[in-house]
Amino acid sequence: MKPHRIIIDADPGVDDAAAILMALGSPEVDLLGLSIVAGNVPLEATVANACKIVALTGRGDVPVHAGAAGPLVRDQVYGKYAHIGAFNDSLVPAGDVVPSAENAVQFLVRSTRAAAAANDPITICAIGPLTNIALALIQHPDVARGIRRIVSMGGAFTALGHRTPWAEFNLLADPHAADIVYHSGVPIVMMPLDVTLQALFTEQHFVAFRRGGAAGQALCNLFTTFDRSDIARFGRPGGPIHDAMTIAWLIRPGLFKGCDTYVGVEVAGVTMGYTYADFHDKLGRAANATVITEVDETGFIGLLLDRIARHGDTENAEIAGGVKA
């Protein structure tokens, strides 16, 4: 089967790092580049973190493009873990990857236009605020023809929000961008908190990341340093790795269940960023998204561990002087 040609739009972010490494460890995925946005931390730090993650894998051929430093309309908000900032060298070693001179929005426009011309549209895995993607679609609506679908980590329907009682962070950070993307006509696959919180990773999983060579060790460092577990909220030990689910869905969609429905987002007031889904078709509006509602937790965790471990296989093969088939 032909690899999925994808662009990851991200705000690294610890779980973004896991998603990027999962994509780079998966032969089913051809990662064309990263478009980076402010979100978890300010843009300068998300770009630096993205460069470090790519450098860990020796994939300097994967370009990192800096994009929007803030949301379209609302005031800037950063993630709950904004204190992480740029990944410390002691956790993720400095690398040799520097960002491209091409802005992320221009990269998205150029890549999707070329994909449309080749009649081979691209999948965008959107795992941060949707600002870059909204800007590309506003400025050049034709680019929609070059986007096969957007697989987006964001929103909360039956789950409560976690940055406000109503809103998941990526939606809270730029609800206007999400509103534009959801009504662009581009097929959307949504991974809301409803499903990302069904898979919780524990210390034993983080230690298992170490099978992934330098990349896996760095991921283990990040997840063991910044404890994201919340027994009071999740009801059991462990914490989510939200963003990696977008990659897992592309590789193994059979691990997931979902349904097509109309979704919308609040763009003003105290519930800004609140997402709603018309699961019982009360509004009579055409479905604009596939909302993923269930995941096979064991299957997802095993898939992520396997793809991170492949970085170790590659590293060992290179050390042995072989060329991994």
Task: Kindly list the residues in this chain that would bind ligand RIB in the complex (CB under 6 A).
Answer: 11, 13, 15-16, 39-40, 79, 127-128, 153, 168-170, 242-243
Residues 119-178 that bind Ca ion (CB under 5 A): 127-128
* Tokens standing for residue 162: 């976690």
Binding to Ca ion in span 189-248, by CB under 5 A:
243
Min CB(126)–ligand RIB separation in Å: 9
List 4, 65, 242, 311, catalytic entry: 242
Is 55 within 8 Å of 25 (Cβ atoms)? no
Stretch near Ca ion under the rule CB under 5 A, chosen from 4-12, 30-38, 261-269, 292-300: 4-12
**Secondary structure (3-state) at 45:** helix
d(CA 123, CA 165): 31
Minimum distance, C-beta of residue 168 to ligand RIB, in the bound complex (Å): 5
CB nearer ligand RIB, residue 126 or residue 135: 126
Site for Ca ion in 15-74 (CB under 5 A): 16
Closest approach, Cβ 45 to ligand RIB, in A, equals 13
Residue 151 C-beta: closest distance to Ca ion, Å = 13
Closest to Ca ion by CB, 107 vs 169, is 169
CB-nearer residue toward ligand RIB: 130 or 309: 130
Burial of 159 (0-12, 13-18, 19+ CB in 10 A): middle
User: For residues 109 and 122, what is the distance between their CA atoms, to the nearest angstrom?
Assistant: 11
CB 297 within 8 A of CB 199: yes
Which of the 8 DSSP states describes residue 27? T
Cβ proximity to ligand RIB: between 115 and 289 the closer is 289
CB of 154 to Ca ion, least distance (A): 9
* Measured CA distances, 308 to 28, 152, 218 (Å): 14, 21, 11
Cβ atoms 156, 41 nearer than 8 A: no
Binding partner selected for residue 169 from Ca ion, ligand RIB, none, CB under the kind-specific 5 to 8 Å limit: ligand RIB
Out of ligand RIB, Ca ion, none, which partner does residue 79 contact, by CB within 5 to 8 A per kind? Answer: ligand RIB
From Ca ion, ligand RIB, none, interface partner of 95 (C-beta below 5 to 8 A by class): none
The answer to whether the beta carbons of residues 216 and 259 sit under 8 Å apart is no
Look at residue 174 and give the partner it binds from ligand RIB, Ca ion, none, a contact being a CB closer than 5 to 8 Å depending on partner kind.
none
Q: Are 126 and 166 in contact (CB under 8 A)?
A: no
Nearer to ligand RIB, 71 or 128 (CB): 128
Only one residue has tokens 């730029």, namely: 174
Partner in contact with 25, chosen from ligand RIB, Ca ion, none, beta carbon below 5 to 8 Å by kind:
none
> How, if at all, do strands 147-153 and 122-126 pair?
parallel
Show Cβ contacts of residue 104 under 8 Å, excluding neighbours closer than 6 positions. Answer: 9, 35, 36, 37, 65, 66, 67, 68, 132
Q: CA angle at residue 31 from 28 to 33, to 5 degrees?
A: 175
Q: For the packed helices 213-225 and 14-24, what is the interaxial angle rounded to 10 degrees?
A: 160
Min. distance of Cβ 282 from ligand RIB in angstroms? Answer: 27
DSSP state at residue 13: -
Q: Which is nearer to ligand RIB, 169 or 256 (CB)?
A: 169
242 catalytic? Reply is: yes
Footprint of Ca ion (CB under 5 A)? 11, 13, 16, 127-128, 243
Enumerate the active-site residues. 242
